[in-house]
Structure 1
Amino acid sequence: MTLEIIGAGFGRTGTKSLQLALQQLGFPCYHMTEAIQHPADFSVWADAHDGRQVDLTQIFENYAATVDWPACDFWKELMEIYPDAKVILSVRDADKWYESVRESIYRLNTLPRSQMQNYPEIMKVNEYCQHSVWGLGGTFKDQFENPEIAKQIFRDHLEEVKRSVPSEKLLVFEVTQGWEPLCKFLECPVPNEPFPRTNERALIQGIIQDIMTGRPIEKQPNLPDIGQKIGDAGKVDGVSAY
């Protein structure tokens, strides 16, 4: 199996719904929830972020597509490795995107380390994101709490992808558009089922509340359970809480 689709959009741009849609179309898809279930991946991504030589193809041996962090930060490198792959840039209104990130995945980053000790699976994600996404050397250069700077980084990323990827290989996509543009771009028949919608944000907020109150997450699950729980975040027909 080789990577056919590179998702260049940041997390919280409907990437979970997009992952589910791609899988429904026959493209096994890598997402942060997959990384949670394969924790050794985080070391590879951190090394890649730091400029060390790594073999990213080992991560994608069983995948035909990728969306969300960590891989979206490496869209250029992945285009070089997989020159025939198409690129999907998932987009969203910058204000709504910022509010969604701030109230979900970024809140995990702000929890005291002492509260995280009993949740090693979440701590692993936090350590990677602090290193490569939120921190001084990461995507947001320790400036995510400044809304205008964070939103400008988000917008600049979108524009860079649009400038850099040949138009015939790029789909700029918002999940509210549904199946039609996605299937046309991938030359796939349109499914009869509704486009996947997920309530991942509410689930992440529930996990945060569990951590803050010291409650077990699903009775102290192992790592794959956490990834599966997030991956199976409550689907809501016709509505997206992304």
Structure 2
Amino acid sequence: MKVIVAGLPKTGTKSMNTALTLLRYEVYDWLENFYYLGDDWVRQIRGGFKEEDMRRMYENVDAVLDNPCCIYWEEIFDAFPDAKVILTVRDEESWYRSFTNQMDAVNNNIMLRLMLTITLTGRRLREFTNESVQAYTNRKETWSWEGVKLRNKEALIKLLRRHERLVKQVVPKNQLLVYQVKDGWKPLCDFLDVPVPDLPYPHKNKGGELIKELKKENPIMGKLVKEFKISLAFICIVFAVGLYAAVQLLNYFELIKF
């Protein structure tokens, strides 16, 4: 483990994911953490964290970000005390607007909501996300069929402030980079001691387009979509067979009357 991105979602983490990937880091984001390590995470959240388990989970991973790693960044840092920590930040009002816009985009995506309901992997993804978010916010709001209901502006901004303050207090200054997307490549590459690439700094998930981008670019989301299509086709077949059987049964009873 070389880099822990401790910034909360909607602080430029998807852009940071792409930047680190372009710098040839092996990055685990939300979906990778779920798909490859979801059972480990749920077990640790429920039963307590162990450094040896965290080291085993991430021994071959260069960088981590987003949920649940940004929430439990300190537990990862305890296991990898030599790692560098990047705290992605943005101004509070902009962050809150972006966060709620993202929630609206997720809540209004019917395909995603169906996928989280009718597929086994989707239901596991919802459980995995709920476990970490509930433990962190100490609230009962969950990612359900109705969508994500984290809306209280005052509570969310307090959470953001508390989170950023803790990161700055705990991480040694020589291991911490406080970073905004507008800072571009140079401070990031200087911090990581790598050459600056001859590319524009990436800007991802603008306007709450996370799900669209994941479907297009992330192979794990591609697998989830494929599973959803198979599950939906199976449900349609079962429904069609059931409807056919019901019609035949009605016809049979009609014949009996004569």
| TM-score normalised to structure 2 length | 0.70
| Partner in structure 1 of residue 252 of structure 2 | none
Q: Deviations over 1:105-164 (max 9, x none)?
A: 57647999984423444433322222221x3x3335347321101111111100111111
Contact 2:86-2:178 at 8 Å conserved across structures: yes
| Partner in structure 1 of residue 77 of structure 2 | 79
* Cα-Cα RMSD: 3.2
In structure 2, distance between residues paired with 1:121 and 1:174: 34
In structure 1, distance between residues paired with 2:109 and 2:139: 19
TM superposition shift of 1:192: 0.5
Change (3 A) 1:147 1:119: farther
Superposed counterparts of 1:148-227, under 5 Å: 148-199=154-205, 201-204=208-211, 223-225=220-222
Change (3 A) 1:146 1:26: same
Change (3 A) 1:109 1:131: farther
SS state at 2:177 partner: strand
SS state at 1:99 partner: helix
66-75 or 113-122, which deviates more: 113-122
TM superposition shift of 1:168: 0.8
Residue-pair matches, total: 212
Contact 1:8-1:72 at 8 Å conserved across structures: yes
Gaps of 5+ in 1: 208-216, 230-242
Amino acid corresponding to residue 129 of structure 1 in structure 2: T
| Partner in structure 2 of residue 89 of structure 1 | 87
| Partner in structure 2 of residue 239 of structure 1 | none
The sequence identity of aligned pairs, in percent, is 33
Contact 1:121-1:226 at 8 Å conserved across structures: no
1:9 aligns with 2:7: yes
SS state at 2:136 partner: coil
| Partner in structure 2 of residue 32 of structure 1 | 30
TM superposition shift of 1:176: 1.7
Change (3 A) 1:72 1:188: same
Q: Deviations over 1:68-118 (max 9, x none)?
A: 111112221222211111110111122222222223257647999984423
Q: Which one has a bigger Cα radius of gyration?
A: 2
TM superposition shift of 1:21: 0.8
TM superposition shift of 1:165: 0.9
